[in-house]
Amino acid sequence: GAVVSQHPSRVICKSGTSVKIECRSLDFQATTMFWYRQFPKKSLMLMATSNEGSKATYEQGVEKDKFLINHASLTLSTLTVTSAHPEDSSFYICSARLGGRYNEQFFGPGTRLTVL
């Protein structure tokens, strides 16, 4: 099946710094990628939809200046958490969709961000 990778898997940073998370579709081209956030023992919350070559679409309540998304190619999307604070600590998961809007999404393994 289609494989999606994320890097890094874990990151610890100091408050005020920025952190970049990469999401790659390894064996297919993904026109659309999604970024989710998950709190412990909770469900996934969609943060934004990322289309290659265009600006990301953010969900209501998600700060676009804080969570910068770039989808530079059909296999790579990046999420940058700017000026991170402890409340940004979370599990961030990306997914990539192959083909039409009603097709399944393939998820990356997630990135655990801890902000001290």
Partner 1 sequence: SQQGEEDPQALSIQEGENATMNCSYKTSINNLQWYRQNSGRGLVHLILIRSNEREKHSGRLRVTLDTSKKSSSLLITASRAADTASYFCATVPTDSWGKLQFGAGTQVVVTP
**What residues make contact with partner 1 under the rule CB under 8 A?**
1, 4, 6, 32, 34, 41-46, 49, 91, 93, 95, 97, 100-110, 112
- CA end-to-end distance (rounded Å), the chain: 37
**Spatial CB neighbours of 22, under 8 Å, sequence gap ≥ 6:** 6, 7, 76, 77, 78
Compute the least distance from the CB of residue 57 to partner 1, in Å. 9
Record the tokens describing residue 65, joined without a space. Answer: 């200046």
Q: Which of residues 12 and 16 has its CB atom nearest to partner 1 in the complex?
A: 12
Compare residues 76 and 82 and give the one whose CB is closer to partner 1: 76
Query: What are residue 17's phi and psi, to 5 degrees?
Result: -90, 170
Residue with Cβ nearer partner 1 (19 or 108): 108
